Chain A
């Protein structure tokens, strides 16, 4: 039973990673950049929920809604101000700019909210469920996280593969120049990608802080890095890859926390990543790119 409960909370943590990893992987697919500031968007989302619910006294549902709107705007603004001027620049320059944005968001939060850790009140009001004569307890947060992530992923999958803007996004990530010739507004599609990624990050932030209720300006950094690992794990640029990678990462992390060592769980996660990349250099679902001379 211990195994089952570890597995379920691992899937729950993993689906949060998946939501964050989707933002990484979509941005990478379309703009070919590692958006290091993505982890800090999670933190901003969680802080907006915190402010709206604690200071504003709003219900958790509206708090999350406001956070989604704020983060979507934030993502689009960051893209417009910091990344768009560098669209044709070397990838390293864009990476450093993303790091700059990450520092900016962290220090802005530090100035506004201070460095002390805040106690985040859960946005989920579902009671926990006890199964198998009390030997297995699943918290409400876990259930909501898994169900909500599943719904979001299905919606995202349908949006990208069935709707016109989604297909346009795929086209841009496939070949920017050809997409432009077909009349697709490339800039709008990149902005849309950032908007979707940031909205997912806001939801992930609210869910993450509901399960692990400590909120500080640095909350987003480590989940951000882990989700980045998850995205690479699944093959960066691949949307189903990010989903699978995130869940796998969460499960591995939780099982190694439960059975091996809680201090070494991060090291184990990273070691598994290195192993996977050694066996399959482009991740689990990554495409192999042939070299042209």
Chain B
């Protein structure tokens, strides 16, 4: 899928060393590794407050979510407002698996790896399911379907009861309908969710997962497949006319992105002892928060997504001193940043400045992509 790394101009490669894309990717990797080493050192030398230590795994979760959504919104160019739904599926599937097999598989790393695999598969299946309407819908209609999908997932996990006993799994809509035997235990208990998930998530595992996601995303974007996907974003009709299989690529992106989001969900759920689904963690609020990271980081910009997710997640926590005003400040900053980076007045201003100082054409100064 991502193995075909076609070099566009091999001659210039030999002259200048690394290709610009490769160099850019290496800077991103180095940035993430440096961030990890810095905070790991701070943590092991006890220089990091406990309150900040507890932010590290959620930061990894948010970074992975942002990278995953960036695939759909930035690279494929389709708006998704239900990405938290995939995360929710992953979180529940992963937690369910971990609780179920806690006694059967005593080796933590093996169980946790399997939990990731189960969650990725579960979320990928959901990705295919939501990918089917994608084939017919476009733009705002697709956005609303993904939003609806996310809400459906959240509602369903809140009414589902799953228990296990010597006869196998029991699934019901209420606790009394489970009909468990004496030795049975309820794992998923409707609105109370799953409790006693082993807390396996560490900053190190989060870091490994971020690096893996990063490698997958950057290699995909730099491959033949990635270029085909981006051509669909830039001009769907032209892409279709040169024989690119739009349906196939869209489905591929949705599935991959969902699987990655599912893994982020496992990281999230194994960082908490009890897992419940509400509007703020798996509802549209979460989906929108992730979308804000992706848009502010720059559509299709991997490094931007990482920085935006890490900084914007940590920002409200660091602003805790301002208590009630922090979310107000956050919202004003959000509006101001959007107007400053996209407003007609400021775009023209930047063009003028760029023209005067760099003697560039105005065309070069316009950031972003063709709508």
Contact = CB atoms under 8 A, between A and B. Distances in A.
Interface in B91-141: 133, 136-137, 140-141
B244 to A, nearest CB: 15
Given A82-B335, A89-B344, A264 B159 contact: yes
A99 B136 contact: no
Interface stretch (B49-57, B147-155, B211-219): B147-155
Interface stretch (A63-71, A117-125, A201-209, A271-279): A271-279
A226 to B, nearest CB: 10
B330 interface: yes
A91 B279 CA distance: 25
Contacts of B368: 90
B328 A108 contact: yes
Interface stretch (B249-257, B261-269, B291-299): B291-299
Given A85-B345, A103-B334, A110-B324, A93 B295 contact: yes
A263 B334 contact: no
A89 B159 CA distance: 42
B342 A277 contact: no
A200 to B, nearest CB: 20
A189 interface: no
Interface in A81-105: 82, 85-97, 99-101, 103-104
A116 interface: no
Interface residues of B, number: 48
B314 interface: no
A100 B296 CA distance: 12
Contacts of A104: 328, 331-332, 335
B338 A100 contact: yes
A111 B328 contact: yes
A228 interface: yes
A101 to B, nearest CB: 6
B173 interface: yes
A131 interface: no
Given A93-B295, A93-B338, A291-B237, A267 B328 contact: no
Given A232-B140, A277-B137, A283-B141, 19 more contacts: A34-B140, A86-B342, A89-B342, A92-B295, A93-B295, A93-B342, A100-B334, A103-B334, A104-B331, A108-B328, A110-B327, A229-B148, A263-B155, A264-B155, A264-B156, A267-B152, A273-B145, A274-B133, A278-B133
Interface of B: 73, 79, 133, 136-137, 140-141, 143-145, 147-149, 151-152, 155-156, 158-159, 173, 237, 279, 284, 288, 291-292, 295-296, 299, 324-325, 327-328, 330-332, 334-335, 338-339, 341-346, 368, 371
12 contacts: A85-B346, A87-B344, A89-B343, A97-B334, A97-B338, A99-B291, A100-B331, A225-B284, A270-B151, A273-B145, A274-B148, A278-B136
Interface of A: 28, 34, 36, 82, 85-97, 99-101, 103-104, 106-108, 110-111, 221, 225, 228-229, 232, 236, 261, 263-264, 266-267, 270-271, 273-274, 277-278, 281-283, 291, 293
Q: Which 3 A-B pairs have CB atoms at the shortest separation, nearest pair first?
A: A100-B334, A270-B148, A103-B331
